[in-house]
Structure 1
Amino acid sequence: MDGIMNVLSYILSNKKALIYTTFIQEEYYKAASKLSAEGVEYRVATLSNTPSVGSPAHRYDYNVEFKFYVRKVDRHKAEEAIHR
């Protein structure tokens, strides 16, 4: 279901430039906070990955991928904000 919603969101959104991807929830919050502080509008697509039991991803809870998208004209500003 995530995939269908992500495709629809992508088609209907003006935020299509992928600027950041993470599997770590703490990094998700940091990136979102930095973008908001700079006034950059963004959208986040999430993809649930169900790893097999015993895999490194299962132990560290890296089962959700967060992808940040911004408008193409905001790409440079967004990348600078995230990597400060």
Structure 2
Amino acid sequence: MGNIEQLIMNIIMFLFSKHRRLVFTAFNQSNYYDAVNKLKSHGISYRSRITSHDTGTVGSGRNENSQYDIYVKKDEVYLAEKAINS
């Protein structure tokens, strides 16, 4: 997806999603999945945004230049932070 399309999708997701508060950012899959599993185990809903900073390398799966952002509902920020840091 091009930069313009990605920007438009990010704006739409922000406007129409209940999950607007950024609570966690990771730069590798392992940390991202650890945080997601903790949120799931505590029953906290979330939305993810994964941004790939393509370096032109060829390979399968996500590269190490990806950014993983996790968003939660405004009233669940404290619970999400507590769960992720447990």
Q: TM-score, normalised by structure 1?
A: 0.81
The correspondence for 2:44, drawn from 33, 36, 40, is 40
Kindly report structure 1 stretches of 4+ aligned residues shifted beyond 4 Å.
none
1:56 is matched with none
- Matched residue count: 77
1:9 is matched with 13
State the Cα deviation string for residues 24-70 of structure 1 (Å, max 9, x = none). 100111111000000000000111112477xxxxxxx4221110000
**Stretches of structure 1 lacking an aligned partner (at least 5 in a row):** 54-60
**Stretches of structure 2 lacking an aligned partner (at least 5 in a row):** 58-62
1:57 is matched with none
Structure 1 vs Structure 2 CA RMSD = 1.6
1:58 is matched with none
Please tell me whether the aligned partners of residues 16 and 71 of structure 1 are also in contact (alpha carbons under 8 angstroms): yes
Identical amino acids, percent of aligned pairs: 32
Change in 2 beyond 3 A, CA 1:49/1:2: same
